[in-house]
Amino acid sequence: SIRTPGPQVQITEAGAGGVTVETPYSEKAIAAALPGFTTEGFQAATEDKTEWAIGAYNAEGFQVLHFYKGSNGKLREMHGVTHHLQGPNGERIGMTFADIGTSRGDCRVGRNLWRGMAICKARGTSNVTLVYAIPQYPGPFDQLAPSDQLREAVLQRIIWTPGRA
């Protein structure tokens, strides 16, 4: 039978699946916290640089989450990167800024590798960020896009940063 799986993971303030502020940065620990997922190291781009990360892949082989190393062997950030997951308010990768209803006032402009992108706080959270890109955005890159263009921006990443335990 053909089925279209819904989001298998939801990123909330607490984490995603069994991943929490307590989860160590290790392929084994992350895989254990996400039943049905496999993990593998790879290189990924963050706002300021390209670095090694751990990728979590679902049973269909889609890379769903990226994990970045923090201090003391803990997680610094977790990035949701595919429509196979949702954010705290049901946000899905590929939805537009207008669809999600993000407030421009909750956003800043991205820099370096994410220049011109909108980096926004997820509604009702203190540690979940939404990253939007505007297809073929010509700039200027030192400020958020005009509202009419920002409305069309597409969600690229949902970023969780561990809160204080």
Start-end of H helices in the chain: 27-33, 97-100, 147-150
Q: How confident is the model at residue 138 (pLDDT cuts 50, 70, 90)?
A: confident
Q: How many angstroms separate the CA atoms of 157 and 93, rounded?
A: 7
Question: What is the percent of the chain with per-residue pLDDT over 90, rounded to a whole number?
Answer: 83
pLDDT digits (tens, 9 = 90+) for 85-95: 999 999 999 99
Q: How many angstroms separate the CA atoms of 27 and 17, rounded?
A: 15
Predicted TM-score (pTM) of this structure: 0.92
Q: What is the mean pLDDT of residues 119-134?
A: 96
Start-end of H helices in 25-71: 27-33
For residue 24, whether the previous peptide bond is cis, meaning omega lies within 30 degrees of 0, is no
